[in-house]
A and B are shown apart, each in its own frame.
Chain A
Amino acid sequence: MKTVSRRNFLAASAGLGVAAITGCVAPLQNPPLDPRIYVADNLRGQVVVTDVRLAPGNSDHLTFQATLQNITRSVLPVKYRVIWVDKEGVEVETALSTWQLVSIMPKDITTLRAVSPRPDVTNFRCYIQWGRS
C-alpha cells in the first residue's frame, strides 16, 4: 500500500513537471465580444476583435476604432460596415456607413475606423464579414 501511494505520488509529480516544462497554459480564449460588433459566421474562429473604442477626438463627431486580428495562416479579405444610431436608437442613413474593404495578412492586426456623420449620433453597430469585391 505504502509502495503504491509512493508510486502515485511520483507519477503525479512527474506529470506536474512535464506540464510545467511543456506549457500547461490555458487555451487561447477570445476576449468577450462587444455586443455592438457582429462577426459573420464565415469569419468565426478566424478573427479576434479587441480594443473597441468610441471617442470624439478632435471634433464632436464620434470616431469608432476597433482592432481586428487575423489568427489564421492565410490572408483574410474582410469587409466591415459601421451603422450609426442616434439617441433614440434610429439608424442614420449616410454614405459614411459604406462597406469598407481590408485585407489582413496572416497573424497580423489591423485597425477598423469610422467617423459618425452627425454630432447627435450616440452609438453604433459594426458588421464584419468575409468579403472580396
Chain B
Amino acid sequence: MKKQMILLAAAASLCVAGGCRTTTQNIDRVNDQAGAIAGFDYRDINRSICEAVGNMLASGRMQRNDGGRWVVNVMPVKDDTSNMARDTGALSEAIHTSLREELTNSGKCVIFNPSVARFAQTAVVPQFALIGTINSRSLFLDNRDRQIEYNLNLSLVETATGLEVWQKRIFIGKRADRHAIY
C-alpha cells in the first residue's frame, strides 16, 4: 500500500514537472476541428468575408455590360470592437486584406491603392468606395454568461454621386463563459 502511494505521488510529480502541457500544433485552416472561441478568429473573418463578397457578387451590382472592371477604393475597415486582446490593428487589417483579395480575384474590379496612386502618371478616379466598420457588444445572459455580438457593416458607395448601391450587415454571435477573453 505504501509502495503504491509512493508510486502514485512520483507519477503525479512527474506529470506536474514535465508532462501535462498542451503540445504545439499547426492549425489546419481548412478542417479546423477546434471549438469556437469568444474572440473574432480567422474562421469568423473567413465566414463573414464569404457572406459579404458572395452577397455582393450575386447582387449584380458589380456587373459591367462592357465586360470591363470597376475601380474600387476599399477603405480600411474601422475597428470599433472592445477588443480585450488589444490586437485591434490585426483584425482590421485581416478583414481589409481579405476583402481586397476576394474582390480582385472576382474579376469584377481593380483595387485602387491611394498610397501609390499619388505617384502615378495617369490619374484614375475610383468609381466605387467600399466602406466597412466592425463593432462588438457584450451582454450578460440571465445565468451571467456572456453573449458577444459582432457586426461587420459594409457599404458600397458610388463616388460620383455618394449613393450607396449595396449594403450588408453580417452578424456573428458568441455565447461564452463570463470570464472569457475576447
Footprint of B on A, CB under 8 Å? 57-61, 63, 94-101, 113-120, 133
Question: Please, how many angstroms separate the alpha-carbon atoms of A99 and B62 in the complex?
Answer: 25
**Known: A60-B63, A94-B102, A94-B105. Contact between A115 and B54, CB under 8 A?**
yes
Residues of B within 8 A of A119 (CB): 106-107
A-B residue pair count with CB separations less than 8 angstroms:
67
16 contacts between A and B (CB under 8 A): A58-B59, A95-B101, A98-B47, A98-B49, A98-B50, A99-B43, A99-B47, A100-B47, A101-B47, A113-B54, A114-B54, A115-B58, A117-B57, A117-B102, A117-B105, A117-B106
- Given the complex, which residues of A lie within 8 Å of B54, measured CB to CB? 96, 113-115
In the bound complex, CA of A117 to CA of B103 (Å) = 9
Residue of A with least CB distance to B44: A98
**Known contacts A58-B63, A117-B106, A118-B105; A98 and B46 CB within 8 A of each other:** yes
Contact A95 B62 (CB under 8 A): no
Can you add 4 more A-B contacts, CB < 8 Å, to A58-B63, A96-B53, A133-B34? A59-B60, A59-B62, A95-B102, A96-B102
Residues of B within 8 A of A101 (CB): 47
Q: Could you mark each residue 15-53 of chain B with 1 if its beta carbon is under 8 Å from any beta carbon of chain A, else 0?
A: 000000000000000001011100000010011011001
B36 touches A133 (CB 8 A): yes
Looking at A57, A58, A61, A117, the one whose CB has the most chain B CB atoms below 10 A away is A61
User: A22–B107 Cα gap in the complex (Å)?
Assistant: 59
Q: Given A95-B49, A100-B47, A133-B35, are A59 and B57 also a contact pair (CB < 8 Å)? A: yes
Question: How many B residues touch A, CB cutoff 8 Å?
Answer: 24
Bound complex: CA A133 to CA B106 (Å): 28
Q: Does any Cβ of A come within 8 Å of B98's Cβ?
A: yes
CA separation between A58 and B107, bound complex, in Å? 16
B49 touches A118 (CB 8 A): no
Question: Roughly how many angstroms separate A59 CA and B67 CA in the complex, as a whole number?
Answer: 12
Q: Can you name the residue of chain B whose Cβ is closest to the Cβ of A97?
A: B50
Instruction: Tell me the minimal C-beta distance from B128 to chain A in angstroms.
Output: 15
Chain B residues with CB below 8 A from A99, complex form: 43, 47
**Which residue of B has the minimal Cβ distance to A120?**
B107
Residue B55 is within 8 A (CB to CB) of chain A in the complex: yes
Interface centre among B53, B54, B101, by most A CB within 10 Å? Answer: B54
**Interfacial chain B residues near A115, Cβ < 8 Å:** 53-55, 57-58
CB of B61 to closest CB in A, whole Å: 8
Residues B118-139 near A (CB distance < 8 A): none
Given A96-B102, A98-B43, A115-B55, CB of A58 within 8 Å of CB of B60? yes
Tell me how far the C-beta of A79 lies from the nearest C-beta in chain B, rounded to whole angstroms: 10
Tell me the smallest distance from the CB of B93 to a CB of chain A, in Å: 15
Q: Which of A58, A94, A118 has the most CB of B within 10 A?
A: A94
